[in-house]
Protein backbone atom coordinates (compact mmCIF):
# COMPACT_ATOMS: atom_id res chain seq x y z
CA UNK A 1 0.00 0.00 0.00
CA UNK A 2 1.31 3.46 -0.86
CA UNK A 3 1.14 6.53 1.37
CA UNK A 4 1.59 10.23 0.76
CA UNK A 5 1.64 13.46 2.74
CA UNK A 6 -1.51 15.42 2.07
CA UNK A 7 -2.72 18.82 3.21
CA UNK A 8 -5.64 18.63 5.56
CA UNK A 9 -8.95 20.20 4.75
CA UNK A 10 -9.31 23.95 4.89
CA UNK A 11 -11.50 26.72 3.58
CA UNK A 12 -10.42 26.22 -0.05
CA UNK A 13 -10.82 22.45 0.05
CA UNK A 14 -14.24 22.74 1.65
CA UNK A 15 -15.53 25.14 -0.97
CA UNK A 16 -13.79 23.83 -4.06
CA UNK A 17 -14.24 20.11 -4.46
CA UNK A 18 -16.61 18.01 -6.53
CA UNK A 19 -18.15 16.30 -3.47
CA UNK A 20 -19.06 19.54 -1.74
CA UNK A 21 -21.93 20.55 -4.01
CA UNK A 22 -25.72 20.42 -3.57
CA UNK A 23 -27.53 17.13 -4.37
CA UNK A 24 -27.68 16.56 -8.12
CA UNK A 25 -27.22 13.93 -10.82
CA UNK A 26 -23.62 15.13 -11.11
CA UNK A 27 -22.95 14.52 -7.42
CA UNK A 28 -24.61 11.10 -7.50
CA UNK A 29 -22.45 10.13 -10.48
CA UNK A 30 -19.34 11.19 -8.55
CA UNK A 31 -20.35 8.99 -5.61
CA UNK A 32 -21.16 6.03 -7.87
CA UNK A 33 -17.69 6.28 -9.43
CA UNK A 34 -16.08 6.47 -6.00
CA UNK A 35 -17.86 3.31 -4.82
CA UNK A 36 -17.54 1.29 -8.05
CA UNK A 37 -15.02 -1.16 -6.63
CA UNK A 38 -16.63 -1.73 -3.24
CA UNK A 39 -17.35 -5.42 -3.92
CA UNK A 40 -14.18 -7.37 -4.66
CA UNK A 41 -13.21 -11.01 -5.12
CA UNK A 42 -10.77 -12.91 -2.89
CA UNK A 43 -9.27 -16.32 -3.56
CA UNK A 44 -9.78 -19.17 -1.06
CA UNK A 45 -6.06 -18.90 -0.19
CA UNK A 46 -6.40 -15.19 0.62
CA UNK A 47 -9.43 -15.81 2.82
CA UNK A 48 -7.61 -18.64 4.57
CA UNK A 49 -4.66 -16.32 5.28
CA UNK A 50 -7.08 -13.96 7.07
CA UNK A 51 -8.03 -16.74 9.46
CA UNK A 52 -11.69 -16.08 8.67
CA UNK A 53 -14.49 -18.56 9.27
CA UNK A 54 -15.60 -19.63 5.79
CA UNK A 55 -18.91 -21.25 6.77
CA UNK A 56 -21.78 -19.70 4.81
CA UNK A 57 -19.65 -16.90 3.41
CA UNK A 58 -20.72 -15.44 0.07
CA UNK A 59 -18.95 -17.31 -2.74
CA UNK A 60 -19.23 -17.13 -6.48
CA UNK A 61 -19.69 -20.13 -8.75
CA UNK A 62 -16.00 -19.70 -9.71
CA UNK A 63 -14.99 -20.33 -6.09
CA UNK A 64 -14.05 -16.77 -5.15
CA UNK A 65 -15.25 -15.13 -1.96
CA UNK A 66 -17.03 -11.78 -2.05
CA UNK A 67 -15.53 -9.11 0.17
CA UNK A 68 -15.68 -5.38 0.78
CA UNK A 69 -12.59 -3.33 1.57
CA UNK A 70 -13.16 -1.38 4.80
CA UNK A 71 -12.80 2.15 3.38
CA UNK A 72 -15.48 1.43 0.77
CA UNK A 73 -17.90 0.25 3.44
CA UNK A 74 -17.23 3.42 5.41
CA UNK A 75 -17.73 5.58 2.31
CA UNK A 76 -20.95 3.68 1.57
CA UNK A 77 -22.11 4.69 5.06
CA UNK A 78 -21.16 8.34 4.48
CA UNK A 79 -23.15 8.27 1.24
CA UNK A 80 -26.20 6.76 2.95
CA UNK A 81 -26.13 9.41 5.68
CA UNK A 82 -25.56 12.14 3.08
CA UNK A 83 -28.69 11.07 1.20
CA UNK A 84 -30.72 10.86 4.40
CA UNK A 85 -29.66 14.41 5.30
CA UNK A 86 -30.91 15.49 1.87
CA UNK A 87 -34.05 13.33 1.96
CA UNK A 88 -36.11 16.26 0.70
CA UNK A 89 -34.21 15.81 -2.58
CA UNK A 90 -33.82 12.01 -2.70
CA UNK A 91 -37.07 10.81 -1.13
CA UNK A 92 -39.42 12.15 -3.83
CA UNK A 93 -37.20 10.60 -6.53
CA UNK A 94 -37.75 7.09 -5.18
CA UNK A 95 -40.64 4.70 -5.52
CA UNK A 96 -42.41 3.69 -2.33
CA UNK A 97 -40.69 0.30 -2.53
CA UNK A 98 -37.28 1.99 -2.80
CA UNK A 99 -38.07 4.26 0.14
CA UNK A 100 -38.85 1.23 2.30
CA UNK A 101 -35.59 -0.56 1.46
CA UNK A 102 -33.40 -1.83 4.28
CA UNK A 103 -30.66 0.75 3.72
CA UNK A 104 -32.96 3.63 4.70
CA UNK A 105 -34.11 2.06 7.98
CA UNK A 106 -32.98 3.65 11.25
CA UNK A 107 -31.10 0.56 12.43
CA UNK A 108 -28.99 0.67 9.25
CA UNK A 109 -28.25 4.37 9.82
CA UNK A 110 -27.30 3.60 13.43
CA UNK A 111 -25.03 0.83 12.15
CA UNK A 112 -23.38 3.27 9.73
CA UNK A 113 -22.78 5.86 12.43
CA UNK A 114 -21.21 3.21 14.64
CA UNK A 115 -18.99 1.98 11.78
CA UNK A 116 -17.76 5.54 11.22
CA UNK A 117 -17.21 6.20 14.94
CA UNK A 118 -15.12 3.06 15.32
CA UNK A 119 -13.12 3.80 12.17
CA UNK A 120 -12.36 7.39 13.22
CA UNK A 121 -11.27 6.32 16.69
CA UNK A 122 -9.21 3.41 15.35
CA UNK A 123 -7.44 5.55 12.75
CA UNK A 124 -7.25 8.75 14.80
CA UNK A 125 -4.66 11.14 13.40
CA UNK A 126 -3.56 13.77 15.95
CA UNK A 127 -4.26 16.89 13.90
CA UNK A 128 -4.75 20.38 15.31
CA UNK A 129 -7.37 22.75 13.97
CA UNK A 130 -7.14 26.36 15.15
CA UNK A 131 -10.14 28.65 15.36
CA UNK A 132 -9.81 31.83 13.34
CA UNK A 133 -11.96 34.94 13.30
CA UNK A 134 -13.25 35.59 9.80
CA UNK A 135 -15.70 38.42 10.58
CA UNK A 136 -16.08 41.20 13.12
CA UNK A 137 -18.79 39.49 15.11
CA UNK A 138 -19.36 37.24 18.11
CA UNK A 139 -21.64 34.97 16.12
CA UNK A 140 -20.54 31.36 15.64
CA UNK A 141 -20.57 31.80 11.87
CA UNK A 142 -17.80 34.39 12.21
CA UNK A 143 -15.30 31.71 13.25
CA UNK A 144 -13.81 28.90 11.20
CA UNK A 145 -11.50 25.99 11.95
CA UNK A 146 -8.36 26.10 9.86
CA UNK A 147 -5.17 24.11 9.62
CA UNK A 148 -2.02 24.26 7.62
CA UNK A 149 -1.07 20.76 8.68
CA UNK A 150 -0.36 17.68 6.63
CA UNK A 151 -1.42 14.10 7.27
CA UNK A 152 0.18 10.86 6.16
CA UNK A 153 -2.60 9.45 3.99
CA UNK A 154 -3.15 6.32 1.95
CA UNK A 155 -2.63 7.05 -1.73
CA UNK A 156 -6.28 6.61 -2.69
CA UNK A 157 -5.62 6.22 -6.41
CA UNK A 158 -3.30 3.25 -5.84
CA UNK A 159 -5.78 1.62 -3.45
CA UNK A 160 -8.68 2.23 -5.84
CA UNK A 161 -6.70 0.84 -8.78
CA UNK A 162 -6.00 -2.34 -6.81
CA UNK A 163 -9.66 -2.67 -5.80
CA UNK A 164 -10.79 -2.18 -9.41
CA UNK A 165 -8.46 -4.99 -10.48
CA UNK A 166 -10.41 -7.26 -8.08
CA UNK A 167 -13.86 -5.74 -8.56
CA UNK A 168 -16.85 -8.03 -8.87
CA UNK A 169 -18.49 -7.84 -12.30
CA UNK A 170 -22.17 -7.79 -11.35
CA UNK A 171 -23.33 -8.68 -14.85
CA UNK A 172 -21.33 -11.90 -15.10
CA UNK A 173 -20.96 -13.25 -11.57
CA UNK A 174 -23.30 -15.75 -9.97
CA UNK A 175 -23.36 -16.70 -6.32
CA UNK A 176 -23.26 -20.22 -5.02
CA UNK A 177 -26.41 -21.22 -3.13
CA UNK A 178 -26.56 -19.96 0.43
CA UNK A 179 -28.26 -21.59 3.44
CA UNK A 180 -31.76 -20.65 2.24
CA UNK A 181 -31.25 -22.05 -1.26
CA UNK A 182 -29.66 -25.24 0.02
CA UNK A 183 -32.52 -25.73 2.46
CA UNK A 184 -35.08 -25.33 -0.33
CA UNK A 185 -33.15 -27.27 -3.00
CA UNK A 186 -32.24 -24.35 -5.25
CA UNK A 187 -29.04 -24.38 -7.31
CA UNK A 188 -28.17 -20.68 -7.19
CA UNK A 189 -29.41 -17.30 -6.08
CA UNK A 190 -31.65 -15.37 -8.48
CA UNK A 191 -29.81 -13.07 -10.88
CA UNK A 192 -31.56 -10.04 -9.37
CA UNK A 193 -29.66 -10.71 -6.15
CA UNK A 194 -26.18 -10.30 -7.61
CA UNK A 195 -24.62 -8.16 -4.87
CA UNK A 196 -26.16 -4.91 -6.07
CA UNK A 197 -27.12 -3.54 -2.68
CA UNK A 198 -25.75 -6.05 -0.20
CA UNK A 199 -22.91 -3.82 0.93
Report domain extents, the chain.
17-126+155-196
3-state secondary structure the chain: CCEEEEECCCHHHHHCCCCCCCCCHHHHHHHHHHCCCCEEEECHHHHHHCCCCCCCCCEECCCCEEEECHHHHHHHHHHHHHHHHCHHHHHHHCCHHHHCCHHHCHHHHHHHHHHHHHHHHHCCCCCCCEEEECCCCCCHHHEEEECCCEEEEECHHHHHHHHHHHECCCCCCCECCCHHHHHCCCCCCCHHHCCCCCC
Model pLDDT, residue 190: 53
pTM of the model: 0.84
- Give the tens place of pLDDT for each residue, 92-118: 999 999 999 988 999 999 999 999 999
How does residue 10 score in pLDDT terms, banded at 50, 70 and 90? Answer: low
How does residue 189 score in pLDDT terms, banded at 50, 70 and 90? Answer: low
How does residue 11 score in pLDDT terms, banded at 50, 70 and 90? Answer: low
Amino acid sequence: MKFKAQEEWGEYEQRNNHFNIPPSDELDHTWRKLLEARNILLTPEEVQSLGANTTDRLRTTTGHYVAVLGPYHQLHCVNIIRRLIHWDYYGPRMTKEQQEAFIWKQHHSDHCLEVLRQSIMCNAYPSFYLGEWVADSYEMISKELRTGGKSQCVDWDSLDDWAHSRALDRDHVKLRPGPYERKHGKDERPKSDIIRDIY
